[in-house]
């Protein structure tokens, strides 16, 4: 037992010597013990912010962007507005060769004039035949002509009526043909369905087109909007008028403001999300264009939504 007690005494003495040396050495730098408790939580702040912010990739768009299609077959004769041009509603974008249609229209109008003249002639003819039939009836009543004479007068009057109706039908049909030709003639002129900018031109002068072939892409430049999907598992739904932030993917430091304009009342079963549309606001949107890739930053915490 004595050796064991001697060993314990030796260890206690060694420990006391070490503690004394530590007390006499240099004191540690104050930075380590002086760090405030809050500094340890600082790196967690971005994570906390990200936890209640939904980041969604999408693209800028506009409500109205269409491809202007050829409404009939034809050959492009002239390009009036090229790519990048700003146009008003109804502005002529391009014209097709319309000479054949104009010739057909001119002939149809001449046919209409002839048919209308025949209608007038047959109206006069009918009046004369009906008058002759009335005279034949009176003469037959007085016994001055035969049954055959009366029947012949009746036949001529009815024939004149049928001729008049036939020519009136020719007039109506020719007028319909003219309307169709005029409509076809209108289709040779490609017009802007709304005011905007010509984003793309797909055709060139002299090109032969077929019906429904793409000719131009017309787009509005404003108001810009973003459409994005919010999971149905999100803590809440966006509210109409609520503010969301939008940042270009190429420069996340530029933050723009948008307000929720539409929220789909239904959930897409394929994605488990509902569609949200927000319209960008402000006067600093000149550098933004439809089609740009952006990130939508939406706060899911109800208390920080606005």
Distance in angstroms (rounded) separating the CA atoms of residues 220 and 260: 20
pLDDT value at 2 more than 50? no
Q: pLDDT per residue over 118-134, tens digit each?
A: 999 999 999 999 999 99
Please give the C-alpha separations between residue 156 and each of 57, 99, 107, 136, in angstroms, as whole numbers.
83, 45, 33, 12
- Structural domains counted in the chain: 3
Average pLDDT over residues 200-209: 96
Query: Residue 105 is part of a domain; what is its CATH number?
Result: 1.10.287
Supply the Cα-derived Rg of the chain in whole angstroms. Answer: 45
More confident residue, 221 or 36: 221
210, 261: one domain: no
> Does residue 297 fall inside a structural domain?
yes
Decide which of 201, 219, 237 is a domain's last residue.
219
C-alpha 243/C-alpha 282 separation (Å) is: 12
Digit-coded pLDDT (tens) for 7-38: 444 444 444 444 444 444 444 444 444 443 33
Distance CA 293, CA 57 (A): 7
**pLDDT value of residue 222:** 84
With pLDDT > 70 as the criterion, what percentage of the chain qualifies? Answer: 82
Q: Which domain does 258 fall in, by range? A: 48-63+221-304
Sequence-ordered strand ranges (E) for 154-233: 189-191, 196-201, 208-209, 214-219, 225-231
Do residue 130 and residue 165 come from a single domain? yes
Do residue 237 and residue 288 come from a single domain?
yes
> What confidence category does residue 161 fall into, taking pLDDT thresholds of 50, 70 and 90?
very high
Q: List the CATH number of the domain containing 78.
A: 2.40.50.100
Rounded Cα distance, 302 and 52, in Å: 10
pLDDT of the residue at 92: 97
The chain-wide mean pLDDT, for the chain, equals 84
């Amino acid at each position: 037992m004595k050796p064991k007690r001697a060993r314990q005494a030796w260890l206690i003495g060694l420990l006391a010597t070490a503690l004394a040396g530590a007390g006499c050495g240099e004191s540690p730098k104050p930075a380590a013990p002086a760090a405030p408790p809050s500094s340890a939580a600082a790196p967690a702040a971005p994570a906390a912010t990200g936890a209640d912010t939904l980041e969604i990739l999408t693209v800028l768009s506009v409500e109205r962007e269409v491809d202007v299609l050829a409404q009939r077959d034809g050959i492009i004769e002239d390009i009036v507005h090229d790519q990048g041009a700003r146009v008003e509603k109804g502005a002529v974008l391009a014209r097709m060769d319309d000479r054949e249609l104009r010739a057909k229209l001119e002939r149809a109008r001449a046919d209409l004039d002839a048919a209308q003249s025949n209608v007038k002639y047959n109206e006069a003819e009918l009046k004369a035949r009906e008058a002759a039939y009335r005279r034949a009836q009176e003469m037959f009543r007085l016994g001055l002509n035969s049954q055959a004479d009366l029947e012949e007068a009746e036949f001529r009057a009815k024939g004149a009526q049928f001729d008049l109706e036939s020519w009136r039908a020719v007039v109506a049909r020719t007028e319909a043909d003219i309307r169709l030709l005029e409509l076809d003639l209108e289709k040779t002129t490609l017009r802007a369905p709304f005011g905007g900018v010509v984003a793309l031109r797909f055709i060139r002068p002299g090109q032969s087109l077929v019906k429904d072939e793409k000719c131009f892409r017309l787009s509005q430049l404003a108001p810009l909007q973003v459409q994005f999907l919010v999971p149905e598992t999100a803590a809440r739904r966006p509210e109409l008028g609520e503010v969301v932030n939008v940042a270009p993917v190429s420069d996340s430091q530029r933050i723009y403001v948008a307000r929720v304009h539409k929220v789909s009342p239904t959930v897409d079963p394929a994605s488990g999300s509902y569609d949200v549309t927000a319209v960008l606001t402000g006067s600093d949107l000149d550098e933004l264009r439809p089609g740009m890739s952006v990130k939508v930053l939406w706060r899911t915490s109800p208390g920080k939504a606005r």
